[in-house]
Amino acid sequence: MRSSILLGAVLPFAQAIRIIQSNDDGWAEANARTFFDALDSAGHDVVLSAPAENQSGTGSSDATPTQVGSSGCEFSSCPGGSPPTGANATDPRLNYVNSYPVTSIKNGIDVTGPKLWNGAKPELAVSGPNVGSNVGPGGLFSGTIGAATYAAHTAKIPAIAFSGRTGDPAAWNQPTPKYSKVYADLALNLTTTLIDSGAPYLPDDVFLNVNFGEVSDSTCHDASQFKFIFTRVNTGLLSARDTEWCGATRLPWEVDVIYLRGGCYVTVSAGDASDKSTTDAARQKVVLDKLKPLISCL
């Protein structure tokens, strides 16, 4: 078993890069902010550009941002009547966009990030960790995946969508839930491994769909207990064979691993950013070779 590396154990990074982050649960949600802090502590130049409010289930919708309504941003994180886009008063790296996840990450890639990076674009895009799993057919409707696939397919930036099975939407200014910390450690571990594999981080038009299993007080309560499993987005019953791994040419289905196995698992699927399905075997192999230090067999 290859156990995952805890946050403190991966510092310092071999290299620090520019990372744009978004989600669909909103810019003030605890999972996203905890991962932001982990990336920042690891030395990366990270900018968050996420919806002003919870936009779960909005897929790849995109619309011009509008003025914030009278109730303000989620968790009272901005007042009613705020501008269509805005930043935290003390940290300009934390940004809201009053629209969909795709619109939010697009604004981060084209406007906010370059403004803070002296005109440079992000080198990697991350979305999430989402509150709740995004596996199988449900991923088609996920705003978290929508943001990642926009980055990979349209903006041509390597992208990862992270989702966690445990938890409910929580505010950034409340005590950080245990699962948020575990998911941030796991997400940082995978991000580290991918970056350390060298650029280009992913093949063209490929994104990673990553799902974390349940976190509980009795089991799966520490990042070191989780195993990373290389999976596929859809079942593959009528698809061409996958890349060879663990003695087979058919990868496990991410739905089976997350919902039926019942263990401390993280699924990593190489997805086609053009249609959110499983990518082909050749590009799977490229991804697998990059992540082999992290990946285990079931």
Q: Which residues belong to the active site?
A: 163
How many CB atoms are closer than 10 A to CB 2? 12
CA distance 25 to 21: 12
CA distance 205 to 221: 34
Report in angstroms the alpha-carbon separations of 251 from 150, 205, 233, 254. 25, 20, 10, 9
Tokens matching residue 37: 């802090």
Tokens matching residue 244: 């060879």
For residues 221 and 173, is the Cβ–Cβ distance under 8 A? no
CA distance 125 to 161: 9
CA distance 75 to 168: 13
In the block, tokens 């409707």 appear at 141
